[in-house]
């Protein structure tokens, strides 16, 4: 059974970490949002790719949810002592990743090839693909500051500005990275990991050919929202600002027409009926996965459900 998983940062990385514990490497492809990518201090930074890879490689700082474990901060301290911007936390170990990625990009290597090489060096044997080798910058139109880049919104302004809309700049001309469409086309199922629907999953869906490739597929999602609150990040706040009551039902409506099932938390069981009436099968379970074991447990439940779907379809 082949699965293609669409992933943003922290939530997607946790789900991916669960899935790699349950599937052989050749049965899983993780397609990662690169809409957050930006240049800082002259270096290319790919926050979601790094979060996914650090998590899969066991290098992630689980306490913060971003960056690397055993991190030090000498370079950033030295740069900010000279007046450099401090708003984006660049650890020394993390910097090494950005340095080598920037060097290879300048050398003409595409991001997908660099990511494949990094995964090999880090001992990750599942396929991790950036959604595109081109640029497609997520722009956030805010009430207070007008349009700003995603990292400015997310890190510099800590998601404080009220969101009016999103735009994925250049996504029209960003081609899917090699392997992305093939991974979806050859998958039995596509999993939308519990990442932010607006700014983590939507950019991937906006890449040419991705939605089309998914139309023939059975797609299931895991809600990134529990009891009206985002597990991490600004998803719930974004729903509110877009005039939508945040919750499992809102996620179901968001993905309506795309997904056939939605994993929701037991705390949201009351919304199961309404989700079912949208034509989306609700699967009620514990969707929080702070530990490695919890990630494996939830991934196992998702896979068991997909195998069940598989058998149903076979009948």
Closest CB 44 distance from a second copy, rounded Å: 8
Q: Does 188 bind a second copy (CB under 8 A)?
A: no
- CB contact burial 173-198 (16+ within 10 A = b; e otherwise): ebebbebbbebbeebbbbbbbbbbbb
Tokens in use for 15?
Answer: 């789900």
Is 125 a binding residue for a second copy by CB under 8 A? The answer is no
Considering only the stretches 9-17, 76-84, 158-166, 281-289, report the one whose residues sit in contact with a second copy under the rule CB under 8 A.
76-84
* Residue burial 118-129, b: 16+ Cβ < 10 Å; e: rest: bbeebebebbbb
Window of 2-10, 17-25, 64-72, 195-203 that interacts with a second copy by CB under 8 A: 64-72
- d(C-alpha 108, C-alpha 194), whole Å: 33
How near is the Cβ of 68 to a second copy at its closest, in Å? 8
Sole binder of a second copy in the list 23, 27, 65, 75 (CB under 8 A): 75
Give every CB contact of residue 169 below 8 A, 6+ residues apart in sequence: 135, 136, 137, 138, 139
Least Cβ distance, residue 137 to a second copy (angstroms): 17
Please enumerate in sequence order all residues whose Cβ is within 8 A of that of 63, keeping only pairs 6 or more positions apart, or say none.
Answer: none
Binder among 27, 62, 100, 169 for a second copy (CB under 8 A) = 100
40-59 residues near a second copy, rule: CB under 8 A: 41-43
Closest distance to a second copy from the beta carbon of 179 (Å) = 20
**In a 10 Å sphere around its CB, with 0-12 CB exposed, 13-18 middle and 19+ buried, how is residue 251 labelled?**
buried
Residues numbered 129-158 forming contacts with a second copy, rule: CB under 8 A: none
Contact (Cβ atoms closer than 8 angstroms) between residue 276 and residue 236: no
What are the φ and ψ backbone dihedral angles of 287, each rounded to 5 degrees?
A: -100, 0
Is 81 a binder of a second copy (CB under 8 A)? yes
The DSSP letter of residue 267 is G
Q: DSSP secondary structure string, 65-106?
A: SSSBTT---HHHHHHHHTT---SS---HHHHHHHHHHHHHHH
In this complex, which beta carbon is closest to a second copy, that of residue 14 or of residue 98?
98
Number of residues that bind a second copy (CB under 8 A): 33
Q: Can you tell me which of 38, 66, 118, 189 binds a second copy, judged by CB under 8 A?
A: 118
Residues 92, 113, 169, 218: which binds a second copy (CB under 8 A)? 92
Shortest distance (Å) from residue 123 CB to a second copy: 11
By CB under 8 A, tell whether 83 contacts a second copy: yes
**SS3 state at 52:** helix
Task: Tell me if residue 226 falls in helix, strand or coil.
Answer: strand
Listed ranges 18-26, 99-107, 176-184, 257-265: which one lies at the site for a second copy (CB under 8 A): 99-107
108 near a second copy (CB under 8 A): no
- Applying the rule CB under 8 A, the residues between 229 and 258 that interact with a second copy are none
Binding interface with a second copy (CB under 8 A)? 41-43, 68, 71-72, 74-85, 91-97, 99-100, 102-103, 106, 117-118, 121
């Amino acid at each position: 059974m082949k699965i293609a998983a669409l992933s943003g940062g922290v939530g997607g990385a946790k789900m991916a970490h669960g899935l790699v514990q349950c599937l052989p490497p050749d049965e899983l492809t993780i397609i990662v949002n690169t809409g957050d990518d930006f240049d800082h201090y002259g270096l290319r930074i790919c926050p979601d790719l790094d979060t996914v890879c650090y998590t899969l490689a066991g290098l992630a700082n689980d306490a913060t949810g971003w960056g690397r474990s055993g991190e030090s901060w000498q370079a950033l301290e030295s740069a900010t002592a000279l007046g450099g911007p401090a708003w984006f936390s660049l650890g020394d170990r993390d910097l090494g990743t950005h340095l080598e990625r920037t060097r290879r990009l300048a050398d003409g290597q595409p991001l997908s090839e660099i990511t494949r090489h990094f995964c090999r060096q880090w001992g990750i044997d599942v396929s991790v693909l950036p959604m595109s080798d081109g640029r497609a910058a997520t722009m956030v139109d805010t009430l207070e500051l007008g349009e700003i880049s995603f990292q400015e919104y997310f890190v510099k302004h800590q998601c404080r500005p009220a969101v009016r809309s999103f735009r994925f700049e250049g996504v029209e001309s960003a081609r899917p990275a090699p392997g992305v469409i093939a991974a979806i086309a050859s998958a039995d199922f596509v999993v939308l990991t519990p990442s932010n629907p607006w700014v983590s999953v939507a950019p991937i869906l906006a890449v040419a050919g991705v939605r089309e490739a998914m139309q023939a597929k059975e797609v299931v999602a895991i809600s990134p929202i529990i009891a009206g609150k985002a597990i991490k990040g600004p998803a719930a706040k974004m729903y509110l600002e877009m005039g939508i009551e945040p919750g499992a039902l809102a996620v179901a409506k968001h993905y309506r027409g795309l997904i056939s099932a939605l994993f929701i938390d037991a705390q949201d069981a009351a919304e199961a009926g309404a989700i079912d009436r949208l034509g989306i099968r609700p699967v009620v379970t514990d969707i929080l996965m702070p530990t490695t074991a919890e990630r494996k447990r939830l991934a196992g439940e998702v896979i068991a459900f997909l195998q069940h779907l598989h058998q149903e379809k076979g009948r």
